[in-house]
A and B are shown apart, each in its own frame.
Chain A
Amino acid sequence: MTLNRREALAIAGGALAFAVTGARMAWATAEDTYKAIMAFTGGAEPATGRITLNAPEIAENGNTVPISVSVESPMSAEDHVASVTILAEGNPNPETVTFHFTAMSGEAMASTRIRLAKTQNVIALAKMSDRSVFIDTKEVKVTIGGCGG
């Protein structure tokens, strides 16, 4: 089969459009999650401890999964939790929510409801005012995914 220039361009254009939309609907890769972790920590290696992520073991409806996170901290002006981010490894985009705390928060505790596309690990990262980073991970089994079309 020979193609003239116009046909070749049309096919290439179609393939490109498919690649772009295809990539957009694809699940986040481990690399995306790693990138999101590094973007939050600024390159610091996260340690375990101090942060606790509470999430259900089994979520029947991925559209609304209650999660809560708490971090041990005196929450004083000098030593407090600056921010906490929640990442969902198996979602189209790993980022879900980032909480920013101040010394006026009193406690580093927050909860919300997130969408999970499928059974996956949910990661919580806490960044302290001294820039150290802590991590906690929970696996959530999802019965019905929450990114339906």
Chain B
Amino acid sequence: MAKVKTRVKLPKKADKGKVITIKTLISHPMESGQRKNKSGNIIPRKIINSFKCAFNDQAVFSCDMEPAISANPYLEFTARVEKSGTFAFTWVDDDGSVYSEDEKITVG
């Protein structure tokens, strides 16, 4: 399988107390477990089932995903920033793999 790639987009700098928009993307087939292969057998389910975003180890946003999420799951959400710090993003695969990415932001 192709290597899983994560992408996160957020501003590098923001004013104190501002609400910023964060966009994330992960390359993943999100196999739903509904499709059949050529010989008629069901292709087993394999999806990213949860996503978390934390700022300086404090939970900001999380989501539970079902097979009805499109391939290469895209998420857009917001966060209020009061101080400089690091956003940590984690995706969890059905097979137990965890993909993560960190992104710093400067507030001032």
Contacts and interface: CB of A to CB of B under 8 A. Distances in A.
Interface of A: 25, 63-65, 68, 75, 88, 91-93, 95-102, 104-107, 109-116, 146-149
Interface stretch (B5-13, B55-63, B97-105): B55-63
B interface residue count range (under 10 / 10 to 19 / 20 to 34 / 35 or more):
20 to 34
Given A107-B19, A114-B69, A100 B62 contact: yes
Nearest to A107: B78
Contacts of B66: 93, 95-97
Q: Majority SS of interface residues in chain B? A: strand
Nearest to A85: B64
Contact of A110 (B58, B71, B77): B77
Contacts of A97: 63-66, 68-69
B92 to A, nearest CB: 14
Nearest to A116: B68
Interface string B39-76: 00000000000000001001111111111111101111
A107 to B, nearest CB: 5
A22 to B, nearest CB: 13
Given A25-B34, A115-B32, A147-B34, A64 B80 contact: no
Contact of B76 (A64, A98, A105, A111): A111
B16 interface: no
Nearest to B76: A111
A110 B63 contact: yes
Nearest to A113: B70
Contacts of A75: 80
Task: List 8 A-B pairs, minimum CB-CB distance, nearest first.
Answer: A106-B80, A106-B19, A96-B68, A64-B70, A113-B70, A111-B76, A98-B64, A107-B78
B74 A113 contact: yes
16 contacts: A25-B34, A63-B70, A93-B67, A97-B64, A97-B68, A98-B63, A101-B61, A102-B59, A104-B55, A105-B78, A106-B19, A106-B79, A107-B19, A112-B63, A114-B70, A147-B35
B76 A68 contact: yes
Given A97-B65, A149-B36, A105 B71 contact: no
Contacts of A113: 69-70, 73-74
B34 A99 contact: no
Contact of B75 (A25, A91, A110): A110
Contacts of A110: 61, 63, 75-77
